[in-house]
Structure 1
Amino acid sequence: MLNKFLTYEYLFALLLLTSASAAAAETAVPETTEVQDGEFYFDQNMLVGGGNVENLNLLKSTANVAPGEYQVDIYLNGEFVSNRIVEFKADARQNGLSPCLDKQYLADAGVLTSEISNIPSCSLPDLVTGATTDFKENELRLNLFVPQAKMRRTPRGAVPASSLDAGNSMLFLNYDANYYRSRSSGQTSDSGYVGLNSGFNLGLWQLRQQSNFTSYQGSGSRTNKFKSLNTYLQRPLLGLQSQMTLGDVYTSGSQFGSLGMRGAKLASDDRMLPDSQRGYAPTIRGIANTNAKVVVKQSGNVIYQTSVPPGDFAIDDLYPTNYQGDLDVEIQEADGRISSFTVPFSAVPESVRPGQFKYDLALGRVRNISNSNDFVADIVGRFGISNNLTLSTGVRGAEGYRAALLGTVFTNTTGAYGVNAIYSNAEVPDKGTQNGWRFSLNYSKTFTPTNTNIALAAFRYSTKGFYDLSDVLGLRAAQSKGSNWVSSSYQQKNQFTATVSQSLDQYGHIYFSGSTSNYRGGRSNDTQLQTGYNFSLNNVSYSLSYSRQKTGRTYYGTQNDANTAQSYNGSTENVIMFSFSMPLGGSNSWSTSYSRQSGNSKGYQLQSSLSGSAGAENSLSYGITAAYDDQQYSSGEGSLSGSLQKRFANVTMGATAATGRNYTQGGLSARGAAVLHGGGLSLGPYLSDSFALVEAKGAEGAVIKNAQGARIGSNGYALMPSLTPYRFNEVVLDPQGISNNNIELESQSSRIAPYAGAMVKVKVKTTEGYPLLLSFDQNLYPLALGEDVYDDAGNSVGMVSQGGMIYARAKGLKGVLYTRGAVVRCALPYEVSDKTAGQPLYRATTVCKRG
């Protein structure tokens, strides 16, 4: 049934016509309209031909809504609870209407069951003493007010379990593709990459598959490789506040080193906790000399790849991870040069609230270390003893390997400290049984008076006999192949890492991050460093940075060449850069930088860039860079490069190009998603693990707000690419973009709270109809003012007004409407002669055919 109060144009026309008729009758009928107790009172004698008293009484008060069912947003004590259909009944005590709420819904919303009366009523004031309701019909919002003493105590931001949405069964595919072609010193190479992330949901069971395809052609050879990275089945377990995963999983890296295995995992999921009670991924900073490809690896696996323009860059959108594995970063320049550096990573010390227990349990066979297939059991748990103390423990076991952990996190006014010790007993090839310890101390603190933030400072020491399980398995695999094992943790003795930032208020900001590691067995030390100073003056931003990185590739795993294993660290290169940027109006800016390098590539480089965005919602972005390179191997070369990216509703396309004296480069990229569902196939932006499919039939062109420009397509669907799990998300449609003027949204917004990994279908009801103003002879047909008008399906589509007029919204420009009044029952045929599209009102005449 069409909600009458949603048709604002109908009310407007009705009021205008009523006012005109009343004015015409002013000389003949005494004026008796007045305001009583905040309500309008109408004298029925003023109405020509009488009126429908029941409908007109709806206009007497602010509650001008007829009894019936309406879909509304429900708020309890100011907090959103759910969006649902509620029946409203006539009730003089509630300003004309009272919502009917069942007792179980109130209990699920947080009302104490002991405070809910057993009387046979569905009115909130009857069920809960002191409770009230307030219905905002124009906002479709129902406010419930219940005394706090009668409510269960729940943490702020908690979402009731009854409001969580498991979503619908759909099949999705994310794709991220790029093509990179370069020609340097007469040699041409082509490389391609396609990353695929797909999934299917059936209830709370979620199947996921991640894979990639890489292609390379150069130096007379060609390689194509498809690799399946992960295939797993997952399911949230709300009662345990955990996530269960079957298939390809990773062990927790918060204490022991992370391992990939094929098996089962059960772990606490902090996303299920409310905001008031609840990871970490490092920011990667570096400097590129040309349009470069940046590849991020962890334990030899590519976890991120992107293209960056010349200059300093920052990658701050890595997925949060609990793994404890160094990130190897390779910068592959357009002219063929490769530089690399390592970002050490260990989890930030995390305290657990008193009484909370978090755990991570994994069982399975190792799959990411050469040909190892050993069975591994891994258990780690943390328990909050008090506000200042957390205890952690864990064990790890495999054939010929055992390790045990005991640690603590404690906090006081000087900061947060994490201390743990791990004992290992391992059967190591050519060394027999080895026993050893690894001790770790982590520290974090924000010094408020000085605005100094020590995000992480960590020191780790390992005795000679300590071995990570990954190194033991790697050594065994290398021995079977007669090769050598290389990793960042093997034979490591000490490691120190620190990340510090200091705000200088109006004078800028200083940051520092670095690490140093030393090793046994003759391997050279490994030192990484990034530091810089940023400040702004008169809308011009200045930056001074220093980076220490290594040239050559990073290696992980078994290596056949002993020299390769020994030269794992490569050679060191130091880069210092000064840059400034300034806005040029709109979304455009200009920047210039000067950098000097020492090491293998001595010299300097000067760059100047113009970048910006244009179009609706800045969907088009561009960058142009001119550079002069006077390094050891370039001997004074100039270069020009550019990039262009366009975000469409269904895909993001990009292109890059660069040219210099000895090289040319070009690249193309595409990123997007496809979803197969009951209504067909929908394309859209790149999807997160939780997303929404919005259905609004007939509303082609409507924009979904905060959805990367997604619009309702010709099939009536669009994709909202990201939802926050276990939180209320608002889905809002902007009707101004709708191409069909005869489509009306019954509701422009709705709220959903999905489980993690849910694919939720959000259906927005639409009404297709033509606004009609029908005239009739009121002397022949005395229809009652305020009488409802219905279509042939029994839906209320309009109302009889004064002056022999009927306003209605009908599905066609020709048809029959009906009245059911006590005075006259009519069939009202009509046909519009002027069918010009897009009119605000279509006019026609009608007659009453009694029946």
Structure 2
Amino acid sequence: MPVAVFAARAEAPAGTSLEPATPTLPAMVAPGIVEFSPAFTGSSQSVDVSRFEKGNPVLPGSYNVDLFVNDGRVARKNILFRAIAGGQVAQPCFDYATLVQMGVDTARLDPQVAHAQSTCINIKDVSPDATASMDVGQLRLDVSIPQESLRRQARGYVSPDLWDQGKAAFLLGYNFNAYSLDQSYSGSRTQAGGTAVGIDGSQVQVQGSQYYTPGPGGNYVPSATGDYMLGTHGQYVPVQRGTFVPMQRGGYSSNDINAYLGLNLGINVMGWRIRSQETTQWDQRTGRTQWTNINTTATHDITRWKAQFTVGDGYTQGVVFDTTPFRGITLYSDDRMLPDSQQGYAPVVRGTANTQARVEVRQSGNLLYQTTVAPGAFVINDLYATGYGGDLTVTVFEADGSVHGFLVPYSAVPMLLRPGISRWAITDGQVHNTALRNDKPYFVEGTYQRGINNGLTLYGGAQSTYRNLYHAYLGGAAINTPIGAFALDVTHSNTTFKGATSLSGYSTRVSYSKVIPSAGTTFALASYRYSNGNFLSLSDAVITQDLMASMHTSKLDAVSLMRSKQRLNVTVNQNFGDRYGQLYFNGSRNTYWQGMPSATTYQLGYNNSYRRVSFGITAGRTYTTGPMYNGSHYDNQFGVNLSIPLGGPSSRSAPMLQFSAMHDDVMGDSDRAGVSGTFGKDNQFNYGASASYSDYGNRRSQTTGSGNLGWQAPYASLNGSYSYSNHYQQASVSAAGGAVVHGGGITLAPQLDLNSAIGVIEAPDARGARVSSSGQATVDGRGYAVATNLMPYRMNDVTLDPVGTSIDVELQTTRLQTAPRVGAVVPLKFATLSGRAVLIRATQADGKAIPLGAEVFDAGGQSAGIVGQGGQLFVRTADASGVLDVRWGNDAGKQCRVNYQLPTGAGDRRSGMEIIDAICR
């Protein structure tokens, strides 16, 4: 677009000298004597440029600006500017929602002004000392508001008045996969048929040669009464009953095709979010199609309580008590509704300043926070949470040059909350465990956590079934100390079975976390739990009662669950610096009552990189003891991996060459080499190919080659894979994506998470524009697109990239902001201007150039721009012909009219626009 360039000179009135010592610019240049040189305007005729006399003028109209308040960016949005009587520059109008977004204390406004939705609120209505300054060139509006007129809010605060519940919509997310497998083996194999049921109610379906019962160390072995199988809780449990076919010998072959379709359905209406998860499976061999409803829920926000209300299927929070599946209702606080600086745990910093001082808060040398405080005591209570912590160094820089500081301990465990912050949940429903065959009891659970002060959080909870089956009570405390963060709680349970002896027991849990920044060490979490022999969790009690009913017995000895005795989990990370890599350790140990097998697992790993080459080493051991192993069983694993980029540092899509070698005492050795990468203009295609060799021992080995190809299309994600070995061939295809049914029709999306917020973009005629924040999503032919993964209760920037759109479409808005509620479908309308881009090279009737800076108006009298150098006019029009009025003064001799006619063919479209000549008469 042509750019108008102006030059100015100042002439001194009579009796005035332009000496270098002239003190101020206003004394030097009076508005009435500004003139523009004809050398710049291209004409001897004067041009009325009075609108530029006061610098950078703002004409009435709507401007899409970056809004800054006290030098802090608030939003990018449309602001209306209206002419003021007697004023030369238009002034901004603010509506009530914008004032809220700017952090204005609206309670101080005149009620009639604040709540009149159509009112144009002037910045002076906020405070006589408030100002607004517009930079037209940068499209930046700077607003200065005294602190007393602003709300005191934590950092990251977004007013609930701005939370958008969106519009009514129907949502569909899908995930499809089809899998084909052809197998051929020689020698012996294990074939089983029927159903094995563990005494905890877990089941393993065993059909033909495809499914086997998991045995020790991951082997697949036939089972019989008295043996063990993998239960629903990830532990091996005794088999209660089952039918199995014995070992068969000789070669065999098989082929099968399986297909899976997962559907996530949703309806948004009047603030309610109804969700349902459905799956269907089809197997070629059996010819069966199985439909399953996983869960169905209806949820609504409760803004006043910063909570969610849910009816349907779900899980309890799992923070205080172990999680329990249920069908019923739950009401719980939602931390996402809190500002970022109030989520998680961070200590309150308290100190004293002697002067108007600058305060810095650092962690491991990194500046987390800086502010200016008045003399006297100060409080900083809106630090952002930083993982598991790390002590804070607070430095106070006094105005007199003195410096003093102190240390604030900072370690965190999941139970810790900030002072004054609460977390709670209430659930009332029926235990929803599909493995239960008999009674599914109703229960109620309530939990509460409260941050008392910097170093103490108290929490507790209660569980109880409606009938006198189970009651549990828990109380605990979390403490932040200089040597780390601790949490300790004790749970007491009482279980009463019909006709059986009651069990009363307890369980103690201890958690610890500590970060040592100077050593680069993080004890991410170490937890220990001990339970006596009579302690049962709610899940244990319900399963035991169900099995007793199935076995028609009231004797507890007939039912033996794997009740936990001791459980220890430790995670340690050690960072040696950029050059020396990172070391990590994970370990766990579990023991059980009644002679059930115990298990210990730990893993040690090291990762580093040299230049652009990354490598890692892992080692692990699993140790299990119990009757089924006649003592103990060890399984050792170790491996190495190496990644090498095949391309220069500046390559956007360099392939990655990967090598790995693994050893497992049970599974044998496996070596693999592969390459993976992306290609395409936007890296929308991905690929991978690998070859591997596995040696299982006993003269069994397998060589496998595999490859995969994927496409992140604008409206779906498509993938395909194929692998081949000396024992099998496998192929699969998959597709994932979603659709949103809204007021404008149906819009497809390459991915759709129904539990996050979604934006439906409307940008008429902007087909091909890419949604920058949503992968490969683009605007479709009807002008719609879906923006996914919006953060609920936060300000989200949604941007459109015009690259890919027609040259005849202009995006007048490329960025919008929204603060959606969780699960909302929010409409986002981007203004567009459609029409042919035309550059008109116009001259006056006498052949002279039109003065630079002359204003151009369309047929409706709206300003269409300014004449550039050489009398060039740029316009965008949907009409093949039209009229433009050009004015550089109020006299008739300083106005003319351009009648233009666009060519019907391709015309001269240099730089993607029409270029025509015209005479301004």
1:128 matched to which residue of 2? 127
Of stretches 126-135 and 649-658 in structure 1, the one that deviates more from structure 2 is 126-135
**Aligned partners of 1:385, 1:744: CA distance in 2, in Å?**
56
Supply the RMSD in Å over aligned alpha carbons.
3.9
Larger deviation, residues 831-840 vs 538-547: 831-840
* CA shift in 2, pair 1:45/1:515, >3 Å: closer
What amino acid is the match of 1:89? R
Q: Mapping of 1:145-544 within 5 angstroms?
A: 145-184=144-183, 185=185, 186-218=253-285, 221-278=286-343, 349-369=414-434, 370-371=436-437, 372-398=439-465, 399=467, 400-428=469-497, 431-482=500-551, 490-505=562-577, 506-544=579-617
Aligned equivalent of 1:67: 60
Partner of 2:681: 616
CA change 1:277–1:423 in 2 (3 A) is same
User: How far did residue 183 of structure 1 move?
Assistant: 2.4
Deviations 1:552-586 (A, max 9, x none): xxxxxxxxxxx9x989x997643211222222114
- Tell me the SS of whatever aligns to 2:646: strand
The number of residues matched between the two structures is: 739
Structure 1 pair 811–518 and aligned structure 2 pair: CA distance change class (3 A): same
Given residue 63 of structure 2, which amino acid in structure 1 is its aligned partner? Y
Cα displacement string for residues 31-64 of structure 1 (whole angstroms, at most 9, x for unaligned residues): x9x99659896538968697784xx333345433
For 2:161, what is the secondary structure of its paired residue? Answer: helix
Residue in structure 1 matched with residue 810 of structure 2 by the alignment: 744
Determine if contact 1:612/1:621 at 8 Å carries over to the other structure.
yes
Cα 1:358/1:508, change in 2 over 3 Å = same
Q: Aligned match of 1:769 in 835, 840, 846?
A: 835
Three-state SS of the structure 1 residue aligned to 2:440 is coil
* Match for residue 879 of structure 2 among 812, 817, 828: 812
- Residue ranges of structure 1 left out of the alignment (5+ in a row): 1-8, 24-31, 281-346, 552-562
Q: Distance in 2 between matches of 1:94 and 1:463?
A: 83
The one-letter code matched in structure 2 to 1:402 is H
Instruction: Give the structure 2 partner of residue 43 of structure 1.
Output: 35
Distance of 2:30 and 2:432 partners within structure 1: 75
Select the residue among 580, 583, 588 that pairs with 2:655: 588
Give yes or no for contact 1:798–1:809 (8 Å, CA) kept in 2: no
Shift of 1:66: 1.1
Contact map agreement 1:39 1:61 (CA 8 A) in 2: yes
* Contact in 2 for aligned 1:409/1:417 (Cα 8 Å): yes
User: Kindly tell me: are residues 104 and 201 of structure 1, through their superposed partners in 2, closer, same or farther at Cα, counting changes over 3 Å?
Assistant: closer
Over 3 Å counting, the alpha-carbon distance change for 1:669 and 1:781 in structure 2 is: same
Which residue is 1:700 aligned to? Answer: 767
CA contact (8 A) 1:49 1:783 kept: no
Question: What amino acid maps onto 1:636 in structure 2?
Answer: S
Shift of the 807–686 alpha-carbon distance from structure 1 to 2, 3 Å rule, reads closer
Match of 1:831 among 898, 901, 920: 901
- Where in structure 2 are the equivalents of 1:17-166 lying within 5 Å? 42-43=34-35, 53=48, 56-90=49-83, 96-101=89-94, 106=99, 109-112=102-105, 122-125=121-124, 127-166=126-165
Structure 2 residue ranges without an equivalent (≥5): 10-17, 19-24, 114-119, 186-252, 346-411
> What is aligned with 2:399?
none
Question: 1:510–1:533: 8 Å Cα contact kept in structure 2?
Answer: yes
Distance 1:367 1:351, change over 3 A: same
TM-score, structure 2 length as denominator?
Answer: 0.73
Cα distance, 1:636–1:786 mapped onto 2, change above 3 Å? closer
CA distance in 2, matches of 1:45, 1:77: 39
Shift of 1:349: 2.5
Please tell me the residue identity of whatever aligns with 2:576.
L
For the residues of structure 2 that align with 1:180 and 1:550, how far apart are their CA atoms?
Answer: 35
1:760 aligned residue (826, 839, 853): 826
Q: Deviations over 1:208-231 (max 9, x none)?
A: 11122223344xx34432211121
Give the SS at the match of 1:475. helix
Using the alignment, how far apart are the partners of 1:707 and 1:765 within structure 2? 20
Q: 1:711 and 2:778 equivalent?
A: yes
C-alpha displacement of 1:366: 2.0
Q: How big is the shift at 1:407?
A: 0.8
Q: CA separation in 2, counterparts of 1:667 and 1:583?
A: 28
Q: Is the Cα contact below 8 Å between 2:843 and 2:850 reproduced in 1?
A: no
Task: Quote the residue 2:229 is aligned against.
Answer: none
Give the 5 Å matches for 1:600-639. Answer: 601=667, 603-632=668-697, 635-639=700-704
Report the alpha carbon displacement of residue 386 of structure 1 after superposing the two structures with TM.
Answer: 0.6
Change beyond 3 A, Cα 1:545–1:722: same
C-alpha separation in 2, matches of 1:809 and 1:537? 55
Are 2:714 and 1:649 aligned?
yes
Shift of 1:835: 4.0
- Indicate if the aligned counterparts of 1:191 and 1:216 stay in contact, CA closer than 8 A: yes
Shift of residue 394 of structure 1?
1.0
Question: 1:488, CA displacement in angstroms?
Answer: 12
Instruction: Find the aligned partners of 1:488 and 1:81 in 2 and give their Cα distance.
Output: 61
What is the distance in 2 between the residues matched to 1:488 and 1:211? Answer: 34
Counterpart CA distance in 1 for 2:811 and 2:712 is 27
Query: Which residue identity is paired with 1:375?
Result: Y
The structural deviation recorded for 1:741 is 1.0
The AA in structure 1 aligned to 2:777 is: A
Aligned-residue sequence identity (percent) comes to 29
Give the 3-state SS of the residue equivalent to 1:159 in structure 2.
Answer: coil
Work out whether residues 40 and 61 of structure 1, in 8 Å CA contact, stay in contact via their aligned partners in 2. Answer: no
- Which of structures 1 and 2 has the bigger CA Rg? 2
Does the Cα contact within 8 Å between 1:39 and 1:62 map onto a contact in 2?
A: no
Distance 1:543 1:49, change over 3 A: closer
The alignment partner of 2:259 has SS state of strand
In the TM superposition, what is the alpha-carbon distance from 1:704 to its structure 2 partner? 1.8
CA distance in 2, matches of 1:389, 1:614: 53
Query: Quick one: distance in 2 between partners of 1:817 and 1:676?
Result: 42
* Offset of residue 612 of structure 1: 1.9
How many angstroms does 1:350 deviate by?
2.7
Q: TM-score, length-normalised on structure 1?
A: 0.79
